[in-house]
Amino acid sequence: MTEQKHNEGSHGNDLDVFVTNENNSGTDTFKAGPGTPVATIIDQLYASKKLGIPKRYNDDRLQCEGGGDILQFSALHLGELAEKHCKSLRWRFAGGTGGA
């Protein structure tokens, strides 16, 4: 039997997204199904008290561990992101300054 961890067609196979805030070392883990939009996880991380992100700025950075911008893939589903762009689902957040 083959593993279907990242298969959008499978049910009950939640994926774990581990996020570290590089500004304050806060961490949080988000569980979601492979069909969950990446944008939903991004919204959840901004609302996370564990990550302590005070405000959303245009110059915020969200990187996949090992490289690659996550924000550009917000329209994808989590399973597709894991299969094609960020297998580890370990993200690093760095808050912007908002500019002046």
Q: What is the pTM of this model?
A: 0.83
| Sheet strands (E) in 7-67 | 15-21, 27-32, 61-64
Q: What is the structure's pLDDT at 53?
A: 93
Q: Say what percent of the chain tops pLDDT 90.
A: 78
Q: Kindly indicate the confidence band of residue 6, based on its pLDDT and cuts at 50, 70 and 90.
A: very low
pLDDT tens across 13-30, in order? Answer: 999 999 999 999 999 999
Architecture category of domain 15-94 in CATH:
Roll (3.10)
Q: What angle do CA 12, 40, 29 make, to 5 degrees?
A: 65
Q: Which residue type occupies 37?
A: P
**Per-domain residue ranges for the chain?**
15-94
pLDDT at 12: 60
